[in-house]
């Protein structure tokens, strides 16, 4: 999701402390704008590391693209034919981690509903109003595809359910953040911020204060609030304001409830902050989707189920719901 976050950097010079220069490189991958900001004394090293990150993003984009020819579409084609597919260890590991989150979220996070995503017209660079027949929606809902349908023999993948069509659009960007962090840390970067169209990961801090990242107002041009991010923390937002269309007076975003087959129209955005571990980016991406689907009535229970403490949800009436832990972070930052 492009331009979900407005990034702001607060640079404070304390006493005689000298901060290294800031270097920023942008690109366009995963159908969105990506930015890599690095604080480093060496411009050449910063450019080389940022270039390595963008090259890794391009590799992942090509490998896990949901509708252009990729390893993922080849896997989906094999599943549809009822044939095994020779993948690799990276793909197996990513799918198995997604399966754990899917089960933990009571299958509200479900990357196997690609047929429904395609039916609503969201598997494409451009899309317009759609009104899929109810019978077709029901067909794919009743097929009950999940990642539990996959079987592994080493790196060979097969499925017991031909209705499985995997779309990692709500997961691969988080994995890419973690890969970027690994590259930058191996390169000795002291402070960096990586932004993939609304999913942000922080390394170190640029000066005397943490990184300051803004949560966009989903119904306006401004920023709701600035959130301080510290080393190895990530923030992810799912919203209804980038990939959506209007039909019969209803907003139809790209996030689909696998239980009904219909897009969610009760939530404007959900933002979560995740901390610690080697998969902090991955968690910031995948975990926001179940909260978006459960909405204002159920997000707190789902957050507890997923072990999420810092959450901000904006419903379609522009009411803002904030968890106590995130509220405390915001209050402490003032």
Q: What is the pLDDT of residue 15?
A: 36
Q: What is the pLDDT of residue 19?
A: 65
What residues have CB less than 8 Å from 66, skipping those under 6 apart? 72, 73, 114, 117, 123, 166, 167, 168, 169
User: Average pLDDT per run of 10 along the chain, which is 334 residues long?
Assistant: 37 44 88 91 91 96 96 98 98 98 97 97 82 96 98 98 96 97 95 94 92 91 92 95 81 93 94 96 96 95 97 94 95 68
- CA 286 to centroid of chain Cα atoms: 6
Judge residue 275's burial from the number of C-beta atoms within 10 Å of its C-beta, 0-12 exposed, 13-18 middle, 19 or more buried.
middle
Judge residue 195's burial from the number of C-beta atoms within 10 Å of its C-beta, 0-12 exposed, 13-18 middle, 19 or more buried.
buried
Q: What is the pLDDT of residue 10?
A: 35
Q: What is the pLDDT of residue 153?
A: 98
Q: What is the pLDDT of residue 4?
A: 36
What residues have CB less than 8 Å from 197, skipping those under 6 apart? 1, 2, 3, 4, 30, 31, 32, 33, 34, 173
Angle between helices 43-63 and 172-186 (to 10 degrees): 150
Structure tokens at 272: 């979560």
Q: What is the pLDDT of residue 42?
A: 86
Give CA–CA dist 125/138, Å, rounded: 25
pTM of the model: 0.91
The two beta strands, 233-239 and 223-229, are unpaired
């Amino acid at each position: 999701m492009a331009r979900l976050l407005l990034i702001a950097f607060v640079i404070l010079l304390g006493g005689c402390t000298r901060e290294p220069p800031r270097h920023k490189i942008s690109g366009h991958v995963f159908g969105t704008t990506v930015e890599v900001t690095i604080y480093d004394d060496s411009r050449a090293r910063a450019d080389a590391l940022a270039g390595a990150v963008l090259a890794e993003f391009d590799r992942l984009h090509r490998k896990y693209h949901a509708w252009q020819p990729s390893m993922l579409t080849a896997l989906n084609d094999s599943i549809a034919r009822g044939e095994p597919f020779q993948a690799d260890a990276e793909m197996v590991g990513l799918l198995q981690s997604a399966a754990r989150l899917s089960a933990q979220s009571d299958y509200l996070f479900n990357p196997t509903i690609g047929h429904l995503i395609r039916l609503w017209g969201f598997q494409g660079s451009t899309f317009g109003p759609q009104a899929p027949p109810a019978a077709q929606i029901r067909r794919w809902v009743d097929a009950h595809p999940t990642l539990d349908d996959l079987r592994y023999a080493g790196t060979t993948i097969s499925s017991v359910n031909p209705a499985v069509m995997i779309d990692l659009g709500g997961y691969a960007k988080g994995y890419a953040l973690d890969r970027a962090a690994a590259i930058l840390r191996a390169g000795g970067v002291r402070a960096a911020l990586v932004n993939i169209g609304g999913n942000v990961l922080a390394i170190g801090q640029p000066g005397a204060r943490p990184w300051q990242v803004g949560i966009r107002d989903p119904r306006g041009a401004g920023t709701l609030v600035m959130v301080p991010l510290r080393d190895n923390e990530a923030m992810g937002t799912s919203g209804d304001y980038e990939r959506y269309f209007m039909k019969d007076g209803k907003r139809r975003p790209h996030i689909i409830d696998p239980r009904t087959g219909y897009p969610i129209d009760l939530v404007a955005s959900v933002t979560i902050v995740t901390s610690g571990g080697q998969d902090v980016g991955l968690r910031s991406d995948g975990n926001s989707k179940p909260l978006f689907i459960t909405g204002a009535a159920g997000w707190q229970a789902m957050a507890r189920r997923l072990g999420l403490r810092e959450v901000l949800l904006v419903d379609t009436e522009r009411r803002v719901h904030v968890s106590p832990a995130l509220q405390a972070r915001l209050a402490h930052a003032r």
